[in-house]
Amino acid sequence: MKHSCTKQHLKWLGKSNWLKFGKLLLKFTPIILIIALSSILNAASGSDKNQLNFSFTLSGHIILGIGYSYSFDENNGLQTTLLIIPGKGIPFGLNGGYFYLTDGEKWRGKLGAEFTLLVSPPDPDRRKCLPMFNFVPGFQYSFDKNNTIMPQLWISYLPTGNKKIAPTGIEVRYGRKF
């Protein structure tokens, strides 16, 4: 289903000029990369709270992502991902949220809550957007102390669609702690 980014749909975001929001989103990309690179440089400190993520998602389109996760403790953390959807004009998105991991060594259950905003450029008058609030169940497998893989399912609430709750994607995320 196609949705138009109108003022009515984006009123809850408080943004009427979607082009400015897209430019602002792209300005945060270097910040994510700087945080990830600083984590790599601080790997010698022994901190395992920072993680660089690469994701592959099937969701009507193939979505690739690069992101960053920060763990408060063994079970709780926050993550953000910049999503790139290969196609004309390079559609993009931003994803962020909270996750909880159950106790375990190799295998751990995962529950998460995320907000995702997918945007298709380039023409602001014909731009399409899809805001989603996701419940994200999955599991994590740890190869060793620093490398993990996490398959998960996006079960989304779509505030602009006719079908309000639907499974919208299957994501596989590889993470490397630094």
Instruction: Specify whether the CB–CB gap between 97 and 112 falls below 8 A.
Output: yes
The continuous run of DSSP H or E covering 96 comes out as strand 92-101
pLDDT, tens digit, 9 for 90 and up, residues 46-79: 556 889 999 999 987 888 999 999 998 889 999 9
pLDDT, tens digit, 9 for 90 and up, residues 72-122: 888 999 999 999 877 766 678 899 999 999 999 899 999 999 999 888 766
Q: How far apart are the first and last CA of the chain?
A: 40
Between vectors from CA 19 to CA 18 and to CA 23, what angle results, nearest 5°?
A: 115
CATH class of 15-40+53-177: mainly beta
pTM comes to 0.69
From CA 117, how far away is CA 147, in angstroms rounded? 28
Confidence of residue 14 (pLDDT cuts 50, 70, 90): very low
Position with higher pLDDT, 40 vs 51? 51
